[in-house]
Structure 1
Amino acid sequence: EAVRATRLAVATNTNLGIILLAGPLLCAAQMTGGALHDNLDAVLRAMSMDDTRAVFEAIVAAAPGGLGEAANDVRQEPKVHLLEAMREAGDRDMIARQYVTGFGDVFGVGLAALEAALARGEDGMWPTVFAYMAFLAGFPDSHVVRNHGAETANQARQEALAVQAALHASDDDASRIRLLMGLDRRLKADNVNPGTSADLTVATLLVHTLGVQLA
């Protein structure tokens, strides 16, 4: 339903990755007792074939054939459990990888970068920026790989690594913003949109917010 609502509003799959990441996290947050990460593992293990079917339908509604075009085509009736389908796609899709690693990159990369930024006194948008840059500099963005190939994705990652280092070396907001705007212009000039890194950043912010609320 969330994918259909997005399609009606903006005629694109803008929210697909966010929906796939946020759904299990919100289910885990509704469980009583236990840590969010532990509850998330329980949610992922408990997913049924009905959940698999619903996820496949959502992906088809957003972008037909996006997940598992090889072994598990989302346009067909699912033959395997959702975690198995995600495992098959996990080596080429960072969203799928979260399902089979217990959202390992969200907690271990994004949340770690966000909390480190907060711990050293970053405020405003900067903790979010550092979480985003941790993903963009840490991995070839799956969305970029799908649309432009691995070489372009790796080039974007190398640029992000340089910008990430420069951001850490500066404490001047204006200088930092110029660095970010320069990276943004270069990416846009090549029509490169690191959407998966953005989706993972949203999931990171959700985990942080839920952690604060549930503490």
Structure 2
Amino acid sequence: MTVNVLLADDQALVRAGFRALLAKDDEITVVGEAATGEEAVRQALRLRPDVVLMDIRMPGSDGIAATRRILAELPGCRIIILTTFDTDENVFDALRAGASGFLTKEVEPAELRRAVAVVHAGDSLLSPGVTRRVVERFANRPEPSASLDALTARELEVVGLIAAGLSNEEIARHLVISPLTVKTHITRAITKLGVRDRVQLVILAYENDLRSSISHR
């Protein structure tokens, strides 16, 4: 199945570079480009892409506003935020807006293509080092946006380990359960909390100060 991708970045050279990199994958097709947030929304509604690579900083309506508008109309679309710096303060707001993850513009070609495949498959792009650092810095709020009371003790444990940056396989090894069981716990937690995906689970974990002492290695 071909994954249709929309590129949104105000720099033509950046768009050309990403287009060239994605063209090396026969299962990815770039269906359009946009140079502003407003144009990204228009193109997304017209082309209905599976995945949008969205620059966080563009003239006029930025990538965060565009993300909110696109997902309000196309909830099945997946958006990956692009940023020059992995400590961009706007990344947290973008994740809360519904983005499925983010990449720095210095991403390796293979990682870019993998990221598109990962979010298209319904997962989220969580870099244990970068995402955890950004979320930790900007998600510490005195009043959490949602309670984790609906989760079982095991589900809380799994969510805490996700927030620590562990992959499903690492969580399975730590808890001595199967990766499939881990995935089941994650799915149930997402359903109970009414969040979009793994990224928003991490945000809720940090907002509720649910932080496992396990360090990612």
| TM interval, short-chain normalised | 0.3 to 0.5
Bigger share in helix: 1
Bigger share in strand: 2
TM-score calculated relative to the size of structure 2: 0.32
- Determine which structure has greater relative contact order: mean sequence separation of CA pairs < 8 Å that are 6+ residues apart, divided by chain length: 1
TM-score calculated relative to the size of structure 1: 0.32
